[in-house]
Structure 1
Amino acid sequence: MAVLGLFQATGCGQVDEGLPKSEVTFQTTEQASSSTDYPGPCQGETTVSGTPQYLSSDYHGVNPDTRFITLPAQGRFRAGISCVGTAFYVIRIGYDSALCQQRGKCDPSSFSTMTQADLDFVATNYPSQVPIREICVKHGFGWYDGANAAPGTYLAIASSGSGFGGLVDGHGTMDLYAYHGNNGNWQPVNCSRPVPTVCGNGICEVGENGASCGMDCCDASTACGQTWMNYGGYYCRSFNGGSYFWTQPATCGSQYPYGTRSTCGGTNYYCCSSINNWTTNYCAY
């Protein structure tokens, strides 16, 4: 993979001022950053499986260094970068990507012939498909962000070059994080961390449901015999197709009229006058 023109790039540690306006607004950089910062996830976010990924390229060693990352839903990338003469990209791949449809780079066998011209074409014309693009001469650690990235598979690249007649050879690292949630909107470094959910506190929290924590959550997946907080007094029911809620045991024929349908755990029960009790058989009158 040939990445060209590294030592002609501008904006070390900053967004390149020569980039199209649409890309400048898409990618942001936080200066005076530290590798001890908290990159995420923030409240409402989940870390993408298989991340973070750590890329390290050296003109005389591993070069380029690449990784694949799949976003299951709209999300964002955050890259911690330090480098000398190294280009970093995160670009969307796959048969529906611009890299495939416009440049013919459709599968891993074709990626070895990818050039910086291919990458820059997509970055210029389809900036939302290149959430991270940083071509630096030299700078210390800094954070780079690509927000509102569409679901799909992305290729992360770190590629180092050589300049000034071989007097300076490139090397660089990228700590790449990916999160989904919050529609992939930009989040600050050192943001508020997610509050862990606690099953058994009687509150149905984000990430919980009747299947994962029936003692807190009352919905269609809550088991019929499950009671709220395991106290034994309130059961999860829906009556006549209404919303699910915690209720004390209902008496057929007195509290609920004949013909009432009670639903729990995916099973319907009917209040039938013929037996004066709840039954799974539909009442015949």
Structure 2
Amino acid sequence: MPFTLATWNINSVRLRKDLVEKLLTEETPDVLCLQECKSPVDKIPLEGFQALGYNHIVARGQKGYNGVAILSKLPIEDVGDRDFAALGHARHVAARLENGVTVHNFYVPAGGDVPDRAVNLKFGQKLDYLSEMRDWFHGERPEKAVLVGDLNIAPREDDVWDHKKMLKVVSHTPVEVEALGATQDAGGWVDITRKDLPEGQLYSWWSYRAKDWDAADKGRRLDHVWATPDIANAGHSSRILRAARGWEKPSDHAPVFATFDL
């Protein structure tokens, strides 16, 4: 039976619970993975989500920062989390659907403003986080899995509004792109979004700093949907709900969708 999955950096699930409910009502994904929830798990406003049929949740949270959650109409089993780079942050959680598919929800560190680990601790943490993800996938070699989330890297030239101008900007520097590529290769992950939409500029994030984000369109594709090779061919109908970036008091990210016939 097919299921549709969405991933969205919500930038505070409590502040934007109405937007989550709007998405669940209008788009009805079977599974919604949220990042940057900025809430302890017991403070996530579940009542409205449950009223819409999302009765299953697996989450990790902390007060004011980070936080990842998987909301589902379908039964899911909590299969744990990992503290990559020993940061003590709520940045990963995994759940398994009844069809055996494991969904990994990630919020990779943003990395600060200076792309130099010698002067920027956050950039070093980002690279270390990706290295530990890579090593884990080398050892585990995941199967029948989907990986989604805000990976905070736009890997391709057409994943940013201006490749040359972005080469020294955190999220598109060569060292980050290389690190993400090594992580992807370690698990054999297939970029489902780009499998479905292989050509052209594609963004999921637009800065709050832009006076008119839509007209300026200086975006980056930071949010991703990957799948292991054994199920990648089942993934289709990828899209980014750009309109959500224009909702009232929005997140600076837009939701990314994919459907899997499994």
* TM-score interval, normalised by the smaller of the two chains: under 0.3
Structure with the largest fraction of helix: 2
Larger Rg: 1
Structure with the largest fraction of strand: 1
**TM-score, scaled to structure 1:** 0.21
**TM-score, scaled to structure 2:** 0.22
Q: With CA pairs under 8 Å and 6+ residues apart, which has the higher RCO, 1 or 2?
A: 1
